Structure formats: structure tokens, C-alpha cells
Amino acid sequence: MRRAVAVFVLVLATLPLMTTGALAQASAPTASLQDLSWLAGRWVGTTASGQHIEEMWMPARDGMMIGSFRWERGQGRWLFEFMSLDTGSSAAPTPLTFRLKHFDRGFRGLEDKAVSTTLMPIEVSGSRVLFEMKEGERVVRITYSHPAPDGLLVVFDETAPGQTAVHIEFPFRRAQP
């Protein structure tokens, strides 16, 4: 009986870790920003429906890469993202984390002020990284791959019960600054 109570107390004590994502971070693959240095630069492309897309990533500095994305969706509608790949500072390293915030053409944030979309890496290789976010049964995945020296492919996938799955491919080619 004592052992059962001890196990129950241990499970209760770890619940906050599970809800804050610390458990997911502990199982995340080890990755450095050096592993993702191929992202740095300016990338331009066109969606399958002919819409202009552009993404830029600054080289890593003190454990962080900063990026931006813009998508001209037609009829004056735009979507912007401000993004970071963060491994913490040299003084306080942390697991690789991908964060982004969305903005409209008027630069109004689409998430609450204190909220950002946060994804963790679940697969990392020399030319590919897969980030994932789970909110209940909703799963969002963003894959960055570098299929050719001047090519970048970003794939967005979202699934949720009762909703149509979303799959969008963003093909880019390296552009001059």
C-alpha cells in the first residue's frame, strides 16, 4: 500500500511537467543551431497556386537564429511570421525550440500578446528537421528540408479530430540578399 501511495504521489508531482512540455523536451533529439546553419539566408518561391512566398533566416548568434516569412495571399491579403530557433544563451543552454508569431498586413498579431506558437524538434538529420506541437488531439508539424544546395522545402501539416487535414508545401530557392 505504501508503495502504491508513493507511486501515486510521484505521478501527481510530475503532472505539471507534462503539461508544460518539459517531458517532450526531455525526449527531443539533440540539435544545435550549427546543424541548421543551412537555413541561413534569403529564400523566395511560389506556392502551388502561384502566390509569392519569401523566408529569411539570420545566422546563429548566442544560441538563437531569427527568421521572418511573408506570404502574399492575393487580393491585398498578406500573412507574416516572425520566428526564432533558440537553444538558450551560452550561459544557460536549453533544448532547441522553434517559436513563431503571426501578423496580418496591418502588423496586428494573430496570437495573444504573450503567446507564441511553440514547436519542438522530433527528427533532425543533416538536411532535414521536423518540428511538432501537440495541443490535446491537434497536431501541427513543420518540416524544413534542404533537398539541393539552392533549395529549401517547408511543409506545414495540421491534423485534428473532426477537421480536414491541412498539408501545404512551400518550395523555395536561395536568393541574393
What pLDDT is recorded for position 151?
A: 97
Contact 28/120 with Cβ under 8 angstroms? yes
Q: Going from the N-terminus, what domains does the chain have, and what CATH number goes with each?
A: 31-175 (2.40.128.20)
Task: Quote the pLDDT of residue 27.
Answer: 60
The residues, ordered by sequence, that sit 6+ positions from 40 with a Cβ below 8 Å of its Cβ are 57, 58, 59, 60, 65
- Taking the C-alpha atoms of residue 123 and residue 81, their distance in angstroms, rounded to an integer, is 23
pTM of the model: 0.81
pLDDT digits 0-9 by tens, 110-154: 998 889 999 999 999 989 999 999 999 999 999 999 999 899 999
What is the tens place of the pLDDT at every residue in 45-58? 999 999 999 999 99
| CA 90, 92, 96, 102 torsion-angle sign | negative
- How confident is the model over 72-96, as a mean pLDDT? 89
Q: Which residue has the higher pLDDT, 32 or 53?
A: 53
Q: Give me 61's grid cell.
A: 548568434
pLDDT per residue as tens digits for the range 147-164 = 998 999 999 999 999 999
